[in-house]
Structure 1
């Protein structure tokens, strides 16, 4: 692993259009440094020094979470996610990232009952958690996935939908979300213009999603800010703890 000059959050991406969006807004607001990498094709990627990581984010992407032959870097991501959670480092998985986290922790990857694409609702479970602050029983989110996961042993389920039993879970310092809260207006416009994202949609579906976005996003944005600000605050606390644990050089005073 390569050296990193300072403690910061590592963000791993899997497609040019699957960017962190609102996650970066929260990290910036909390003054948390970050670096973004893509390691999909690297079986032995050059990653930052593990001890310098204050947090880990795994973004979405069109591939399967266990497509290791085509994307060997996914195996390295799974190992890193598990190691980060075991070490108590704040870890966030979105969509594909959620699936990478879940399978790394012992959950199973499987096809969903049907593709879940577009705006819909998730239902808060009774054992919901501060990692996923939902003010009501249901919340509006943006879905965009085919695969889903089973809950890893020892994980806490946080939310579900009609088609997907595990929409969100917490495992130690890790939060996995099958849905997308990070998509701001700029990203959404890119998604609607990206053939890989809309290849299974009719033109009328794309038009409907564009029309729905402003109203739906007004509901999603405060939820997203609460989730990502909480994650950023945990990363900030991790940095402070790491800095406090750094050995200090003894100064020699010559009189």
Structure 2
């Protein structure tokens, strides 16, 4: 009798992308090594893929320079938030980064609003007690992470606060082991930081931030930050897949 040589079904990871250079970065090879087929959906360019958002094994909602409540200017945002709410209600694995975390917070009924200042640059986060027992634990050593946002969200109902900074109290939250929202950019590949500096040139200029300062800091923190980021994502994916 011939042995069954059928390959196991591929797992699917859908990433919602809002600007081309804010992609999965260092997370994509981690996903592919774990057997995920990765697909991007470009929000605003393509229709919101609500059915695929519900069915994918993993959904990642990436960052972008628009607001989580910018429905009037960017009408697709409302449909995106509704589809995220359905995913959360189904308790399916979901990671939100920056705008993605803010859209998760909106979907859960939390307020999202401008901070009045920009938090852009490399700085550590402070972990809460829940954070120390979460996949973010590797960041307890003070590793600087990349911050790049001007909006903040309230802690969503039922969520656990994991991390904060002096500028923004809500830096990360979790719901169970299946949903994680990060205000900062652990996914960013710092070898590609120049694309961020170009793409966000107007924002940096308006905030009075010199791109050369970020460019100089990146190689100093890159190796340590990339290692910690991989540890965080690996631990979170382990928990998601064990659930």
TM-score, normalization: structure 1?
Answer: 0.82
Structure 1 window deviating more from structure 2 (123-132 vs 102-111): it is 123-132
Task: Indicate if the aligned counterparts of 1:56 and 1:81 stay in contact, CA closer than 8 A.
Answer: no
Q: Which residue of 2 aligns with 1:108?
A: 111
Q: Deviations over 1:43-91 (max 9, x none)?
A: x634444553101111000101111122222122212222222222111
Q: Which residue of 2 aligns with 1:247?
A: none
| Larger RCO (alpha carbons 8 Å, 6+ apart) | 1
1:164-179 pair list within 5 angstroms: 164-172=168-176, 173-179=178-184
1:24-103 pair list within 5 angstroms: 24-40=28-44, 45-49=48-52, 52-103=55-106
Q: Which residue of 1 aligns with 2:192?
A: 187
Distance of 1:70 and 1:135 partners within structure 2? 36
- Number of residues paired by the alignment? 232
Report the CA distance shift for 1:132/1:206 in structure 2 as closer, same or farther (over 3 A): same
Tell whether 2:17 aligns with 1:10: no
Counterpart pick for 1:124 among 123, 127, 139: 127
Counterpart pick for 2:234 among 229, 234, 244: 229
SS at match of 2:57: strand
Distance of 1:158 and 1:29 partners within structure 2? 27
Report the CA distance shift for 1:49/1:97 in structure 2 as closer, same or farther (over 3 A): closer
TM-score, normalization: structure 2?
Answer: 0.85
Consecutive unaligned residues in structure 2, runs of 5 or more? 1-8
Measured on the aligned residues, the alpha-carbon RMSD in Å equals 2.3
